[in-house]
């Protein structure tokens, strides 16, 4: 069906040894970024679609461009340049479906900027990688890429350009090309056809801030030679058409294995443990076992329960998606036709049942303390019996999301809180600021083993301590204690009001911020939108002043009080000789 990738020539043995050591260290930090998703805050509003195209997505493969009622998520832009040729138009429609099924938008968009304009920051121990602009801008995006170059990026993980002159420009494992390499050539071209119809965004890619030697992409060669072997989809004899389609969605487009399959020491997925559950390293989440195991996987789930979880944000019995899976459901699975999600379920029923990884020792001594803490801190909402409140507060009793697999997910929810399931419902506070590591571990152990839950009491204070710094917080900016001025020449403009929000990952080096600074009523505010870089010491993005938008690079300093982040200080130029100096408090002190 399509050509296999032509592998690069084997390097000299000594070179392989050097590159192998570099690759192992680099990939160990980067491979988990396959599971990164963006905030649910929508990108900037896109230009209106051309006449006659407004209803296009509804008529094309029944894929929703906007979130379903009651769900979070972001709206996908419609074509502004729809081809008149019926065959090309059909190709664009197919591409729209594939982009939704591939969940491309969250990684390639940031709050306050156009969809697919890139800039999503992914922090690693070696620095920060930013997602690229994939709009059809010829200067800043992929508008000048040939079909072959786009195919190589998707199928081979190689971008246009070079590294160290003689090596191809290998993509960092942030891009799930190991899964996308299973896409057909026709589907890759359909994705490009859809992206080519969008409005170009004149936003340059933010430079990666990787430390030496991780900034040398040539170091990825050894890992690729050992673990990356692209091939077409492989279907089992006897699979129905529905199962084959479900396999294509799970293995290629949705790239489920990137999170749900454990990894080896080199951070490559382990083929023999396909979909048996894996830790999303450096993010504090565990992607559970989704094989057909009745004890450890989804084998005991009914079709109705699986469809509700994947398309309807879950139910009160089996639980609701949270963490990174919440974005996958809201931005991808819930927008696909029901028949496609049915096919996913059909395929998952064929996945060989596997046991999850063995748990740690049982810590029975913490159960009594956990029971006391649960009734003091949690029972007022979830009930003494863990049954919650129908259609409002999730049940904990018999909820596999809290007991199946390691305690990481439950601990992460207690630490970071939980936003309302649907509008008008209750949210869960962030207990990480109120309870100690040992207290949270005790609550987790009690919940995982009570009311018929079949979990193991294996959470420790060290478990919580390791996860605590990995939680992303969303905090409103505070007008009350803000000081901010914009100077130009000899004049200074003092701001008196601010609205906006900042998202800060637990490592405190990855953040995103949108802010609107106002000096007086009726006057246009100054709008800022950007993401952290340089290990959290820069904010790079765009500033809009008087209707004109300029590139922005500001120095960023985090202000602490008793080890709690209470404010951020921003200084630097905003274009046209303007200089900003601001100290912006957070509405609630965090960490």
Residue 54 has pLDDT above 50, yes or no: no
DSSP 8-class letter at 250: I
Whether the Cβ atoms of residue 356 and residue 409 lie closer than 8 Å to each other = no
Among the ranges 209-213, 313-317, 472-476, which has the highest mean pLDDT value?
209-213
**Pairing mode of beta strands 127-130, 121-124:** antiparallel
CB-based contacts of 339, cutoff 8 Å, min separation 6: none
Both tokens of 219, joined, read 């170091």
**32-41, 300-309, 543-552, 558-567 — which is least confidently predicted?**
32-41
pLDDT of residue 51: 32
Whether the Cβ atoms of residue 533 and residue 542 lie closer than 8 Å to each other = no
197 and 106, same structural domain? yes
Whether the Cβ atoms of residue 53 and residue 46 lie closer than 8 Å to each other = no
Angle between helices 303-311 and 324-331 (to 10 degrees): 90
- For the residues 272-280, what does the mean pLDDT come to? 86
- For the residues 512-531, what does the mean pLDDT come to? 81
182 and 96, same structural domain? yes
Candidates 326, 255, 205; CA nearest to 31 is 255
506 and 451, same structural domain? no
437 and 302, same structural domain? no
Domain boundary among 470, 486, 508: 470
Predicted TM-score of the model (pTM): 0.70
| Residue of higher predicted confidence among 46 and 230 | 230
CATH at 440: 1.10.760.10
| Residue of higher predicted confidence among 184 and 490 | 184
pLDDT of residue 61: 54
Number of domains in the chain: 4
CATH at 521: 2.40.128.110
Distance CA 543, CA 232 (A): 44
313 and 250, same structural domain? yes
DSSP 8-class letter at 81: S
CB-based contacts of 579, cutoff 8 Å, min separation 6: 486, 487, 488, 571, 572, 573
Whether the Cβ atoms of residue 584 and residue 513 lie closer than 8 Å to each other = no
404-453 residue pLDDT tens: 888 888 998 898 877 665 556 677 887 886 788 899 999 999 999 999 88
pLDDT of residue 550: 85
Phi and psi (nearest 5°) for 87?
-70, -40
pLDDT of residue 124: 59
147-171 residue pLDDT tens: 999 999 999 999 998 877 778 888 8
**2-11, 431-440, 516-525, 557-566 — which is least confidently predicted?**
2-11
Query: Which percentage of the chain shows pLDDT scores above 90?
Result: 33
pLDDT of residue 49: 38
156 and 284, same structural domain? no
CB-based contacts of 405, cutoff 8 Å, min separation 6: 277, 286, 288, 289, 296, 356
307 in a structural domain:
yes
21 in a structural domain:
no
156 in a structural domain:
yes
Residue 33 has pLDDT above 70, yes or no: no
Domain containing residue 477: 473-590
Whether the Cβ atoms of residue 262 and residue 269 lie closer than 8 Å to each other = yes
578 in a structural domain:
yes
189 and 50, same structural domain? yes
Residue 24 has pLDDT above 50, yes or no: no
Mean pLDDT of all residues belonging to the chain: 80
pLDDT of residue 390: 64
171 and 218, same structural domain? yes
538 and 438, same structural domain? no
127 and 187, same structural domain? yes
30 in a structural domain:
no
pLDDT-derived band at 374, boundaries 50, 70, 90: very high
Domain boundary among 412, 444, 470: 470
280 in a structural domain:
yes
448 and 386, same structural domain? yes
pLDDT of residue 332: 92
18 in a structural domain:
no
76 and 148, same structural domain? yes
254 in a structural domain:
yes
Among the ranges 39-43, 193-197, 265-269, which has the highest mean pLDDT value?
193-197
Angle between helices 408-416 and 437-449 (to 10 degrees): 130
DSSP 8-class letter at 21: H
Phi and psi (nearest 5°) for 283?
-125, -10
Residue 3 has pLDDT above 60, yes or no: no
């Amino acid at each position: 069906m399509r050509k296999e990738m032509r592998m690069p020539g084997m390097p000299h043995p000594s070179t392989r040894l050097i590159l192998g050591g570099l690759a192992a260290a680099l990939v160990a930090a980067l491979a988990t970024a396959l599971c990164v998703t963006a905030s649910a805050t929508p990108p900037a509003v896109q230009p209106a679609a051309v006449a006659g195209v407004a209803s296009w997505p509804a008529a094309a493969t029944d894929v929703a461009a906007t979130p379903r009622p009651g769900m979070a998520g972001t709206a996908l832009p419609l074509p502004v340049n729809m081809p008149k040729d019926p065959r090309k138009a059909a190709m664009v429609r197919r591409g729209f479906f594939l982009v939704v099924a591939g969940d491309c938008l969250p990684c390639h968009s940031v709050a306050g900027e156009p969809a697919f304009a890139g800039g999503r920051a992914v922090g690693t121990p070696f620095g920060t990688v930013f997602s690229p602009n994939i709009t059809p801008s010829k200067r800043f995006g992929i508008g000048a890429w040939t079909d072959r170059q786009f195919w190589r990026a998707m199928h081979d993980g190689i971008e246009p350009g070079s590294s160290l002159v003689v090596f191809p420009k290998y993509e960092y494992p942030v891009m799930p090309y190991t899964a996308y390499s299973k896409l057909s050539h026709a589907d890759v071209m359909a994705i490009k056809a859809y992206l080519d119809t969008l409005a170009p965004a004149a936003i340059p890619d933010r430079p990666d801030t990787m430390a030496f030697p991780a900034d040398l992409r040539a170091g990825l060669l050894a890992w690729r030679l050992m673990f990356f072997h692209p091939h077409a989809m492989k279907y089992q004899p006897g699979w129905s058409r529905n199962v084959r389609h479900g396999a294509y969605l799970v293995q290629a487009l949705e790239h489920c294995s990137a999170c749900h399959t454990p990894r080896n020491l080199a951070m490559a997925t382990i083929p023999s443990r396909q979909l048996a559950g894996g830790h999303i390293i450096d993010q504090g989440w565990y992607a559970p076992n989704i094989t057909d195991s009745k004890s450890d996987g989804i084998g005991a789930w009914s079709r109705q329960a699986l469809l509700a979880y994947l398309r309807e944000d879950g139910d009160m019995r089996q639980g609701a998606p949270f963490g990174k899976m919440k974005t996958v459901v809201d931005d991808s699975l819930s927008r696909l036709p029901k028949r496609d999600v049915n096919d996913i379920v059909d395929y998952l029923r064929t996945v060989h049942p596997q046991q999850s990884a063995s748990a740690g020792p049982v810590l029975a001594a913490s159960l009594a303390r956990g029971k006391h803490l649960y009734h003091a801190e949690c029972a007022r909402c979830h009930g003494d019996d863990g049954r919650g409140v129908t259609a409002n507060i999730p049940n904990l009793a018999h909820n596999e999301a809290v007991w199946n697999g390691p305690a990481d997910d439950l601990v992460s929810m207690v630490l970071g809180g939980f936003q309302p399931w649907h509008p008008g419902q209750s949210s869960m506070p962030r207990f990480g600021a109120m309870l100690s590591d040992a207290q949270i571990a005790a609550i987790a152990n009690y919940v995982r083993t009570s009311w018929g839950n079949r979990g193991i009491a294996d959470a420790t204070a060290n478990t919580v301590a390791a996860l605590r710094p990995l939680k992303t917080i969303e905090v409103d900016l505070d007008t009350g204690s803000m000081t901010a001025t914009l100077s130009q020449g000899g004049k200074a403009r003092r701001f008196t009001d601010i609205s906006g929000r900042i998202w800060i990952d637990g490592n405190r080096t990855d953040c995103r911020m949108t802010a609107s600074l106002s000096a007086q009523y009726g006057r246009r505010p100054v709008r800022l939108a950007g993401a952290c870089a340089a290990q959290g010491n820069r904010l790079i993005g765009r500033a809009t002043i008087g209707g004109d938008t300029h590139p922005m690079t500001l120095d960023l300093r985090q202000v602490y009080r008793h080890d709690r982040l209470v404010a951020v200080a921003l200084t630097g130029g905003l274009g046209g000789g303007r200089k900003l100096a601001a100290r912006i408090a957070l509405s609630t002190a965090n960490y």
